[in-house]
Structure 1
Amino acid sequence: MIKVLIVEDERAIARAHRSYVERIEGLLPVAVAHTGRAALEAVGKAARAGEPIDLVLMDIGLPDMSGLEVAAALGRITPRPDVVAITSARDLEVVRAAVAHGVVLYLLKPFTFAAFREKLERYLEFRSALPADADAVSQQDIDRAFGALRTPDTRVGTPKGIAPQTLEEITRVLRAAPEGVTAGDAGRNIGVSRVTAWRYLERLADDGVVRRQTDYGRTGRPRVRYVWGR
């Protein structure tokens, strides 16, 4: 099992990421950290205990330090865990810095479980392509491992009918409304139909990113409100 540390300052998102990891065979979430310092302490403690963390799912925008700073500091811990960046940062400079600090994969928020699973399954293929009990590897092993990281699997990813830009807009509306939104509210806010907004909200609810809350009006007709987090 690949032992995973989730680093995310928003607790609701951290819980969602943990639930995602639990759904992927071969991965085991062992800890959650909400700050960069807590992440470094968790990795160091696990290494000293002889149960090192293999993979860190790293948010870049942490409250105390950049996730890239954390990734750089992880290089001083033996054995060093791999890092997958999970962030909304799209700046080219940030992406280049992530590569320079050894980030093996980069996943942009927001995303569905299908997109998350695709990235992590690629990582598992990368790990399996490199023999764990060998001191050296062949060129063929190296090419196969890096090919697993870089070759997209067209069978999975963003589900059919889900546009990344619309998903991002729906997420923005949800995060700005602590009390939650209805499908009609979300649709009017971003300029799409209620049915379209409902489809995206249901996808996020099924993935565990939002929770459904049923309200009953004066007429007794139930109305579903979607609330960010769980």
Structure 2
Amino acid sequence: MIRTLIVDDDPAVCRMHIRALERLPGFVVADTAATGAAALDRLLDGDIDLVLLDIHLPDFSGVEVLHRLRQLSDDAVDVIVVSSANDGITVSQAASARIADYLVKPFSRALFEQKLGAYRDGSAATRPRVDPAPLGQEDVNALIEAGRSGDRRLPKGLSESTARLVENAVSAEQASSAIEVAAACGLSRITARRYLDHLVRTGVLRSEHRYGQRGRPEILYRRR
């Protein structure tokens, strides 16, 4: 089950998210938090798989929560932003913190369930773009999913030769975990994960989840 933390200062929104997650297979609500500080404190327990995060919080921005979270745990926790904030700069700042998706309020129940289902089934990609103009949901989708078939330039700190090594270690027939790829390439798990995530973002690989009896699902990688 995907243990989910809901971060929103509106109790009605929290209740709506809880009801929606109760209808979706594979999710369980672990807790709620009304402030950024409370969310970060709860995340220190280390048992959260996914955060549904509002941007407008009473103490500090959800974007700051995102970046503090990445400093605490790298990519150990996935985040889907659920917010009325739809300006390009905010979306870009969130995307730079490697979010799984971004859902603009208000939205339909069907769209919410579609986004959560897509996350559960392993689809997520980001590439930042700075734009001060307000964005609609389709624009946000394009920003968050950009890179699947577009710009394949490597992020700073990654090399072409190692990217090819990681790419060649993954097959289309059998999915591999980051640990398996790391062992095959002689890399650390964190380094292998950075290359794998880049290859997913650029459409070379696809990711999927393998669910066990308990705990967070294992992310596996496969060639497209």
Corresponding residue of 1:102: 98
Deviation readout 1:24-57 (Å, 9 max, x if unpaired): 1011111000100110011102x1xxxx211000
TM superposition score normalised by structure 1? 0.55
Deviation readout 1:82-103 (Å, 9 max, x if unpaired): 1100001111111111111111
Which segments of 5 or more consecutive residues in structure 2 lack a partner in the other structure? Answer: 124-173, 182-192, 210-224
Corresponding residue of 2:65: 70
Corresponding residue of 1:117: 113
> What secondary structure is seen at the aligned counterpart in 1 of 2:6?
strand
> What secondary structure is seen at the aligned counterpart in 2 of 1:107?
strand
Q: Percent identity?
A: 35
- Give, in whole Å, the separation in 2 of the partners of 1:117 and 1:145: 21
Corresponding residue of 2:133: none
Corresponding residue of 2:164: none
Pair 1:58-2:53 in alignment: yes
Corresponding residue of 2:162: none
User: Cα gap change, 1:17/1:60 in structure 2, threshold over 3 Å: closer, same or farther?
Assistant: same
Q: Which has the higher helix share?
A: 1
Pair 1:135-2:131 in alignment: no
User: Cα gap change, 1:113/1:132 in structure 2, threshold over 3 Å: closer, same or farther?
Assistant: farther
User: Cα gap change, 1:140/1:8 in structure 2, threshold over 3 Å: closer, same or farther?
Assistant: closer
The amino acid of 1:39's aligned partner reads A
Does the 8 Å contact 1:3/1:30 carry over to 2? yes
TM superposition score normalised by structure 2? 0.57
Post-superposition offset of 1:145: 3.2
User: Cα gap change, 1:25/1:37 in structure 2, threshold over 3 Å: closer, same or farther?
Assistant: same
Q: CA RMSD in A?
A: 3.0
The amino acid of 2:109's aligned partner reads F
Q: 1:145 aligns with which of 181, 206, 210?
A: 206
User: Cα gap change, 1:69/1:109 in structure 2, threshold over 3 Å: closer, same or farther?
Assistant: same
Post-superposition offset of 1:23: 0.8
The amino acid of 1:126's aligned partner reads G
- Give, in whole Å, the separation in 1 of the partners of 2:107 and 2:8: 15
- Give, in whole Å, the separation in 2 of the partners of 1:55 and 1:118: 16
Post-superposition offset of 1:134: 4.1
- Give, in whole Å, the separation in 2 of the partners of 1:125 and 1:68: 25
Pair 1:28-2:21 in alignment: no
- Give, in whole Å, the separation in 1 of the partners of 2:57 and 2:33: 10
- Give, in whole Å, the separation in 2 of the partners of 1:135 and 1:63: 42
Number of residue pairs matched? 143
- Give, in whole Å, the separation in 1 of the partners of 2:27 and 2:175: 17
Does the 8 Å contact 1:74/1:80 carry over to 2? no
Pair 1:91-2:87 in alignment: yes
The amino acid of 2:69's aligned partner reads L
Does the 8 Å contact 2:40/2:65 carry over to 1? yes
Does the 8 Å contact 1:21/1:29 carry over to 2? yes
> What secondary structure is seen at the aligned counterpart in 1 of 2:180?
coil
User: Cα gap change, 1:140/1:102 in structure 2, threshold over 3 Å: closer, same or farther?
Assistant: closer
